[in-house]
Amino acid sequence: MNERLRKLHVDGREFVWTGRIHHVAGERDCHRCVRVRVWGAGKNSRALQADLLSKAVLPWGCATDSTYPCPKDVRTVIEYALTHGWNPNVMGGTFFLTESEHASAFELADFLLTDRLRDEAAPEPTTRVFRSFDENPGPPIPAPAKASPEDRSGPAAPAP
């Protein structure tokens, strides 16, 4: 399967990036994780890699959501990495935005950094996702609609 390469311009420079969807298991839940890889000076340049953990909290247990980083998110990842040591002009290798080094200073609206894809001993993701949700709860998930008295679609229960 081919990965789609996307282009993004930051400060007059062209970057190419891709995202691959994964999931990570926590002790109490599963979470969507998107591995973002970025190149700034061709395919042989030093890649930037960030594993982005979705902050979505779902009511139906171990099922991942559909969150995917948008170009604005990737731009933020690139800008942060450039100011924290990533040099895309270097040939070869990968610069990792890791949870252990960068999570305390870096967070996106819908994502946290995680090391869980590369290291099973990394911090438990469910605890971090729930903590983030408690600090910044999103809009509530609406309850299923109930039939109103004016509903003329038929009886709610089958006829005897």
Q: What is the pLDDT of residue 28?
A: 75
Cα 71 from Cα 67, distance rounded (Å)? 13
Residues 83-128 have pLDDT tens digits of 999 999 999 999 999 999 998 899 898 899 999 888 888 888 777 7
Identify residue 113 by its one-letter amino acid code: L
Identify residue 30 by its one-letter amino acid code: C
Q: What is the pLDDT of residue 154?
A: 46
Q: What is the pLDDT of residue 32?
A: 86
Q: What is the pLDDT of residue 139?
A: 53
Count Cβ atoms below 10 Å from residue 97 Cβ, excluding itself: 23
| Low-confidence residues of the chain: pLDDT under 50 | 1, 141-144, 147-148, 151-156
The dihedral formed by the CA atoms of 73, 79, 81 and 86, expressed in degrees to the nearest 10: 130
Bridge partner residues of 118 (DSSP): none
Instruction: Please provide residue 111's backbone torsions phi and psi, each rounded to the nearest 5 degrees.
Output: -140, 150
Q: What is the pLDDT of residue 153?
A: 45
Cα 53 from Cα 34, distance rounded (Å)? 7
Q: What is the pLDDT of residue 159?
A: 52
